[in-house]
Amino acid sequence: MIKYLPRPIPAATADELRTADDAGRPATPIIAREDGVPMDCVGSPLRCCLRAIEPGEEVALVSYAPLRRWAAATGADPGAYDEQGPVFIHAGACDGPDDTVTVSGYPFARPGALRTIRRYNAAGQIVGGRFFKIPLDAGAGFDAVLDEAFAAADVALVHVRALEYGCFHFEVRRT
């Protein structure tokens, strides 16, 4: 049992991103293939349902600004900490996460993968971060690194990102 709830991109937000992403571009659906034509994206993370893309799925690569959207809903002002980046979502409606998809309870938790844990306060400012290498017991590892992040009283939410490319993976909020 995991201690924290990884949050996918909300369904309503994914619907908006399918029309126009956070950079103002329309989503362009593609069929996931493994041969690089038109894009080799099988196995990449889907942020709408927190699982890997399977061959033949229709997906879209969109620009997403998670902190900006959270700030708009809470009245925070992330200022220079606002950022957007590419994420995959289903090109059509998605039922959200399936609790049976991950072994550890945390999505994209491949042991040895490198992540950054970015902490933000209620004003939307970054208040710290750290490097995290996912251990063999990914669930316990994520629990420990999130315990550490939320030990600081000013942390309102945490973004988990890939270290290599900075891609947003999921968000965890203080409960």
Domain boundaries, the chain: 11-173
Task: Assess whether the previous peptide bond of 55 is cis (omega < 30° from 0).
Answer: no
Can you give the pTM of this predicted structure? 0.90
Res 34: pLDDT: 76
- Residues 45/116, Cβ–Cβ less than 8 Å: no
State residue 105's pLDDT score: 83
pLDDT at position 39: 67
| Mean confidence (pLDDT) of the chain | 91
Q: What is the pLDDT of residue 14?
A: 97
Alpha carbons 65 and 81: distance in angstroms, whole number: 10
DSSP string, 99-163: TTS-SSSSTT--TT-EEEEEEE-TTS-EEEEEEEE--SSHHHHHHHHHHHHHTSTT--EEEEEET
Pairing of strands 126-133, 168-173: unpaired
**23-81 pLDDT tens trace:** 999 999 999 987 766 667 888 999 999 999 999 999 999 999 999 999 999 999 999 99
Distance CA 71, CA 78 (A): 7
What average pLDDT does range 135-149 have in this prediction? Answer: 96
